Amino acid sequence: MAARPLARAARAAPLRPFLPQSAVLPRFYSAPSKPSDPLSNSQQSAPSESDTTHFGFRTVKTSEKADKVHDVFSSVAASYDIMNDVMSAGIHRLWKDHFVRSLDPGRKPGGSPQQILDVAGGTGDIAFRMLDNAANLHHDLETSVICADINGDMLREGEKRAHAQGYLPSDRISFKVQDAETLDAIPDNSMDLYTISFGIRNVTRIDKALESAYRVLKPGGVFACLEFSKVSPAPLDALYQMYSFSIIPMMGQLVAGDRDSYQYLVESIKKFPSQDEFAQMVRNAGFLTAGRGYEELTFGVSSIWKGIKPLKK
């Protein structure tokens, strides 16, 4: 099958200023769609009716958030890839390249092919990069990725791309409707690597998603999250906020004909915890983290958090 070349990674090299100062994990670790969709074999979790949560800047019933998020991504699914390029001037590709290269998925000498779960995998951006990394850097066509998402419309776009780019038909990738909070089709201790890219901020109960990530990973398995985060220094953040709140919804209207969904996306970024707060949530779920637990990209516009499931509790 035709694996996409890793030219992207090479292309990223001259653009190092967008990438973090440290691309390597320090060596020392500190402790601590709707169910009816045909792609689905899962049930979403049922939050209590009485709780409230945020949906962007609005307060909604906890039980309603997943459906609202589902509607946002069903609405943007067809234009999602082009909008990512437009909104970020292509920089999301560099972040994703760096994210995957830093994880270096694939069979290592003397090791086995990896089982990878890409949660909130959407249209497959991370899954495809992981397969490319395994094939092009490790000559590994046996490592496989499950691209799991709550939204069947996003996954269908991913499947179309997988066929168009030669990843399907094969056993290397599969698409499953799954709620990150439960991952009920994924057995305990079954995954070598769990990734979630620009997905966790949309999850209603992030602590449950982290619990599930911990459950499905093998001892020694790696949790890795790429997500928007807090920008510093403050003057740069002021510019970024201006761009986010005035330009992005307008672009959403012009390119995708959908202002409201992009308004939600920028509000959801603002509501996501700080880098340190989320690192603490990762540790609270039981993962070991290195140093402060995250790496900032492009002045903190996005960050990568990593954790390792310990061999023993």
Ligand X SMILES: C[S@@+](CC[C@H](N)C(=O)[O-])C[C@H]1O[C@@H](n2cnc3c(N)ncnc32)[C@H](O)[C@@H]1O
Closest CA to 202 of 97, 288, 306, 76: 76
Q: Which of residues 136-165 bind ligand X (CB under 6 A)?
A: 149-151, 154
The answer on whether 51 is annotated among ligand-binding residues is no
d(CA 308, CA 232): 27
The answer on whether 149 is annotated among ligand-binding residues is yes
Considering the complex, what minimum distance in angstroms separates the CB of residue 63 from ligand X?
13
Q: How many CA atoms lie within 13 A of 52 on its CB side?
A: 6
Residue (32 or 78) nearer to ligand X, CB: 78
Piece in contact with ligand X (CB under 6 A), picked from 130-138, 161-169, 198-206, 275-283: 198-206
Q: What are phi and psi of 296, to 5 degrees?
A: -90, 145
Place of tokens 């709620």: 179
Considering the complex, what minimum distance in angstroms separates the CB of residue 157 from ligand X?
9
Considering the complex, what minimum distance in angstroms separates the CB of residue 152 from ligand X?
9
DSSP 150: S
Three-state secondary-structure class, residue 269: helix
Piece in contact with ligand X (CB under 6 A), picked from 11-19, 34-42, 118-126, 244-252: 118-126
d(CA 19, CA 215): 31
Size of the site for ligand X (CB under 6 A): 21
Q: Which of residues 216-255 bind ligand X (CB under 6 A)?
A: none
Torsion angle in degrees (nearest 10) through CA of 55, 264, 67, 130: -110
Residue (125 or 295) nearer to ligand X, CB: 125
Binding string to ligand X for residues 169 to 188, with x set by CB under 6 A, is what? Answer: ----------xxx-------
Q: Which of residues 32-91 bind ligand X (CB under 6 A)?
A: 66, 69, 73
The answer on whether 197 is annotated among ligand-binding residues is yes
The answer on whether 132 is annotated among ligand-binding residues is no
Closest CA to 196 of 137, 145, 135: 145
Asked whether the beta carbons of 261 and 252 are under 8 A apart, the reply is: yes
> Strand locations in the chain, DSSP E?
29-30, 52-55, 58-61, 115-119, 144-149, 173-177, 191-197, 217-228, 289-290, 294-297, 302-308
Residue (154 or 279) nearer to ligand X, CB: 154
Residue (70 or 138) nearer to ligand X, CB: 70
Considering the complex, what minimum distance in angstroms separates the CB of residue 116 from ligand X?
13
> Strand locations in 199-301, DSSP E?
217-228, 289-290, 294-297
Residue (62 or 288) nearer to ligand X, CB: 62
d(CA 10, CA 19): 13
User: Does residue 97 bind ligand X (CB under 6 A)?
Assistant: no
Piece in contact with ligand X (CB under 6 A), picked from 117-125, 210-218, 255-263, 302-310: 117-125
What are the residues facing 289 on neighbouring strands? 30
Residues making contact with ligand X (CB under 6 A): 66, 69, 73, 119-122, 125-126, 149-151, 154, 179-181, 197-199, 202-203
Return binding residues for S-adenosyl-L-methionine. Answer: 123, 149, 179-180, 197
- Which residue positions form the known binding site? 123, 149, 179-180, 197
